[in-house]
Amino acid sequence: MSRSAAVRALQERVAPVTLSREHTRPVPDPLAPLFAVGGLPQGQVIGFTGAGSWSIALALAGTALGEDGWLATVGVEDLGLLAAAEYGVRLDRLLLVTTPPADRLAATVAALTEAVDLVALAPHRTLGHSQARRLAATCRERGTNLLLLDGGRRWPLPTDLTITTTPERWEGIGQGHGHLQQRRLTVEAVGRRAAARVRRITVLAPGPGGGVAPAAPVALTPVADPPTDTLAPVADPLAGDSPVGASGSLLDTSVDTSVDTASVA
């Protein structure tokens, strides 16, 4: 251990009290670089935007909640609950609240902050400025994180952190064979104060076997071998004859043509 590291470690140990904003929740290792303090600060409001961002939200929730944390969703009736479970969210620690009337949205979320650790919401109506401010203060005080699954479009205040995803490529799926397995995803986080610098990483979400995984540093590996899935590839016997392994770009027309002509024949 270097001298400065030793001093830091010592500082941490003797620090008398931590302020509530320094309390963090654990995050999956591959996502840790997104957070200035290495974890999810309690009480923050986080926006998720872009295709694939729900996967990141669920992966964060799955780890941040741990064994005994509770997640509530408000007005996210279309959340894929199987996917949530695959990302580590315990289904027996999950409350689903239907979309409340606009005038009770803030009260609903505020009530939830008394008992749950994370509230995921995608409000259908914009919250009032003062309501949002009060809600944010309540969350800070109680340490509850708000996860805005609509990217914060209906949140009138700046979010503490906005996570933007850009999908690069799905792996495991080809032209009529295989199935969606993993997705390379670029994830960008930018926020306020300590998080003002843009942080960008590339991860697999979902990764192999579910969850989020670090992406291989070089993204040259083409589509994986078609998995020996008993259901998918053999559905079209001709697909088995066609060359496989190319990713789905326009260059694949030759493959498609061969299939078409073959089926005509």
Partner 1 sequence: MAVVWCPDWPVVAWGIPLDEPAMVVVANRVVASSPAARVEGVALGQRRREAQGRCPQVAVLERDLDREARLFEPVAAVLEELTPRIEVTGPGLVGFPTRGPSRFFGGDASMAAEVVERVEPVLARRGDVRVGVADGVFAARLAARSRAARAGPVVTEPDGAAAFLADLPIDVLEQPDFTDVLRRLGLRTLGAFAALDAADVVGRFGRDGQLSHRLARGEDEYPPDLRRPAPDLAVTWQFDPPAERVAGCAFAAKMLADELHDALGGRGLACIRVAIEAETEEGRTQLRLWRHEGALSAAAIAERTRWQLDSWLRQGTGGREGGGPGSGVVRLTLVPDEVVPAVGRQLGFWGGRNERAGDVTRVVARLQAMLDPEAVSVPELQGGVGPAERVQLVPAAAVDLAEERPATRDEWVDEPWPGRIPPPSPTRTHLDPVSIEIVDRYGAPVGVDGRGEITGPPALIRALESSDVLDRRSHAVEAWAGPWPADQRWWDPADHRRRARVQLTLDDGSAHLATLEGGAWTIEATYH
| Cβ atoms of 82 and 130 closer than 8 Å | no
Q: Which candidate, 54, 52, 107, 50, places its Cα nearest to that of 78?
A: 54
Residue closer to partner 1, measured from CB, 168 or 188: 168
Binding mask of the shown chain, residues 6 to 45, with x at each position contacting partner 1 by CB under 8 A? ----------------------------------------
User: Does residue 251 touch partner 1 according to CB under 8 A?
Assistant: no
Specify whether the CB–CB gap between 199 and 227 falls below 8 A: no
Q: Which of 60, 174, 187, 203 binds partner 1 (CB under 8 A)?
A: 174
C-beta closer to partner 1: residue 195 or 211? 211
CB 160 within 8 A of CB 46: yes
Tokens representing 33 are: 């670089």
Residues in contact with partner 1, counted by CB under 8 A, come to a total of 68
Q: Smaller CB distance to partner 1: residue 146 or 195? A: 146
Residue 137 near partner 1 by CB under 8 A: no
Q: Which residue among 126, 131, 181, 202 contacts partner 1 (CB under 8 A)?
A: 181
Is the CB of 44 or the CB of 242 nearer to partner 1?
A: 242
190-215 burial, b at 16+ Cβ within 10 Å, e below that, comes to bbeeebeeebebbbbbbbeebbbbeb
Name the residue nearer to partner 1 (CB basis): 36 or 69: 69
Looking at residue 182, what DSSP letter applies?
A: E
Pick one of 43, 60, 160, 183: the residue that binds partner 1 (CB under 8 A).
183
Interacting residue with partner 1 among 7, 10, 115, 137 (CB under 8 A): 115
Q: Which H or E run includes 258?
A: helix 253-264
> Letter for the amino acid at 163?
I
CB of 114 to partner 1, least distance (A): 6
CB 202 within 8 A of CB 168: yes
Residue 228, class by beta-carbon neighbours within 10 Å (0-12 exposed, 13-18 middle, 19+ buried)? Answer: exposed
Tokens in use for 123? 């409000």
Instruction: Work out whether 53 is an interface residue with partner 1 (CB under 8 A).
Output: yes
What b-and-e string marks burial along 48-78, b requiring 16 or more CB atoms within 10 Å of the CB? Answer: bbbebbbbbbbbbbbbbbeeebbbbbbbbee
Instruction: State which residue, 79 or 203, has the beta carbon closest to partner 1.
Output: 79
- Output the CA–CA distances (angstroms, integers) from residue 165 to 7, 140, 186, in the order listed: 37, 25, 6
Cβ atoms within 10 Å of 131's Cβ, excluding its own = 17
Q: Which region, judged by CB under 8 A, interacts with partner 1, from 7-15, 20-28, 135-143, 166-174?
A: 166-174
Residues in contact with partner 1, shown as a per-residue x/- string from 75 to 114 under the rule CB under 8 A: --xxxxxxxxxx---xxx-xxxxx-xx--x--xx--xx-x
Interface with partner 1 (CB under 8 A): 51-55, 58, 68, 70, 77-86, 90-92, 94-98, 100-101, 104, 107-108, 111-112, 114-116, 166-168, 170, 173-183, 206, 210, 229, 231-232, 235-237, 247-250, 253, 256, 259-260, 263
